Amino acid sequence: MPANRQLLLDNRPKGEAVAGNFRLVSVETPELEDGQVLVRHHYLSLDPYMRGRMNDSKSYAQPQPLGQVMQGATVGEVVESRNPRFAVGDKVVGFGGWQEYSVADASQPGVLRKVDTAHVPLSYYLGAVGMPGVTAWYGLVKIIAPGKDSTLTISAATGAVGSAFGALARARGCRVVGIAGGPDKCRYAVEELGFDACIDHRQHPDARSLSQALKEACPAGIDGHFENVGGYLLDAILLRANAFARVALCGMIAGYDGQPLPMANPALILINRMKIEGFIVSDHMEVWPEALQELGTLVATGKLRPRESIAQGIESAPEAFLGLLKGRNFGKQLVRLI
């Protein structure tokens, strides 16, 4: 059995996460038991939610245990199988974590899923046609539920969730305005992802300035918003929201270091009779097949062209993850392990 390099959570962050919170080890891969398969990971996913799980505090999921492999989604290839449902060579998506190999009990429902790479690249099953894409779909379809010609906004517009949101919203006839960090990302949002406009939040460092930019980009106001960041970005959105606007609240990356994120003017929620709903997409597994089918079609037909930032090798994961939290990635952040 092959040696397996793993990244463990060695200690919890005190404020900002650092590379020293992780520890790289090498272990022997155990012999398979009946029902198990050995998966060689090709890519592992890095996602902002992982930062919250590094803390030992109340959240929607249990904290990442110390001394254990960092948890996260993976795609790869079955290299050994003692399960009749999986053959050597099958491409699969699972939750193998920050390691080069994983042993999965494939007899348990949902642990591993075979995927078709004929029209969708394997790595996309961690982004546009995976959890981030379904997250965008659920927030748009089930919470915002826009009508045609609605004006929608989204923060972190060029990330894995944002790029899928843009394609899904355009397919429903909406006007879509993104918020992203830097001119290159904003140019990509408009020219390649098809956003109607994109605002560079680095040019607008406070809610008042950003609100003015939103007024120009959304002259009819904002009917729906998808929030990934929080902080003053959400304050600016509330200033431009229409009556009965809906907000799908998926992430608050501005507060992942433990800093509270007070709202500047929460009375606007009442004044505008708004609906703000937080959600975690793993609570809604029943919608995944429908969402994945639409997302896969958008990719296969060229209507969704997500970008990826790819770090090479398991040892690169900590710095790539810290860069993700700082917005240094361009599109979905992955680590290639082959």
Flag whether 200 is in a domain: yes
Flag whether 299 is in a domain: no
181-222, pLDDT tens digit by residue?
999 999 999 999 999 999 999 999 999 999 999 999 999 999
- Domain stop point among 266, 282, 298: 282
Contact present, 68 and 8 (Cβ < 8 Å): yes
Average of per-residue pLDDT values in the chain: 95
| Nearest C-alpha neighbor of 304 from the set 138, 175, 180, 119 | 119
Report d(CA 226, CA 222) in Å as an integer.
11
Flag whether 298 is in a domain: no
Residues 15, 58: one domain? yes
Report d(CA 323, CA 310) in Å as an integer.
12
> Which segments of 54-130 does DSSP mark as H helices, in order?
none
Report d(CA 241, CA 256) in Å as an integer.
25
| pLDDT mean over 133-160 | 97
Task: Indicate the pLDDT class of residue 165, thresholds 50, 70 and 90.
Answer: very high
pLDDT of amino acid 138: 98
| Nearest C-alpha neighbor of 177 from the set 215, 204, 229 | 215
Report d(CA 148, CA 252) in Å as an integer.
28
Share above pLDDT 90 across residues of the chain, in percent, rounded to a whole number: 89
CATH number for the domain harbouring residue 274: 3.40.50.720
Range in 77-91, 105-119, 215-229, 236-250 with the lowest mean pLDDT: 105-119
| Nearest C-alpha neighbor of 263 from the set 279, 250, 252 | 252
Taken as a whole, the chain contains a residue count of 338
Flag whether 289 is in a domain: no
Residues 270, 135: one domain? yes
- pLDDT at 264 > cutoff 80: yes
Residues 117, 249: one domain? no
- Domain stop point among 267, 282, 297: 282
25-79, pLDDT tens digit by residue?
999 999 999 999 999 999 999 999 999 899 987 777 789 999 999 999 999 999 9
Contact present, 238 and 269 (Cβ < 8 Å): yes
Task: Indicate the pLDDT class of residue 83, thresholds 50, 70 and 90.
Answer: very high
Angle between helices 288-300 and 131-138 (to 10 degrees): 110
Residues 217, 123: one domain? no
Share above pLDDT 70 across residues of the chain, in percent, rounded to a whole number: 100
pLDDT of amino acid 261: 85
Residues 38, 181: one domain? no
Residues 137, 274: one domain? yes
Flag whether 293 is in a domain: no
- pLDDT at 317 > cutoff 90: yes
Residues 254, 137: one domain? yes
CATH number for the domain harbouring residue 44: 3.90.180.10
114-135, pLDDT tens digit by residue?
999 998 999 999 999 999 999 9
Residues 119, 255: one domain? no
The residue range of the domain holding 101 is: 3-127+306-336
Residues 140, 228: one domain? yes
Flag whether 45 is in a domain: yes
Q: Which two tokens stand for residue 13?
A: 């962050």
Q: What is the largest CA-CA distance in the chain?
A: 63
Flag whether 291 is in a domain: no
- pLDDT at 257 > cutoff 90: no
Q: Which residues of 186-203 are buried (b: 16+ CB within 10 A; e: fewer)?
A: bebbbeebbbbbbbbbee
Residues 155, 54: one domain? no
Report d(CA 47, CA 228) in Å as an integer.
12
235-244, pLDDT tens digit by residue?
999 999 999 9
Task: Indicate the pLDDT class of residue 260, thresholds 50, 70 and 90.
Answer: confident
How many domains does the chain divide into? 2
Residues 101, 143: one domain? no
Residues 35, 123: one domain? yes
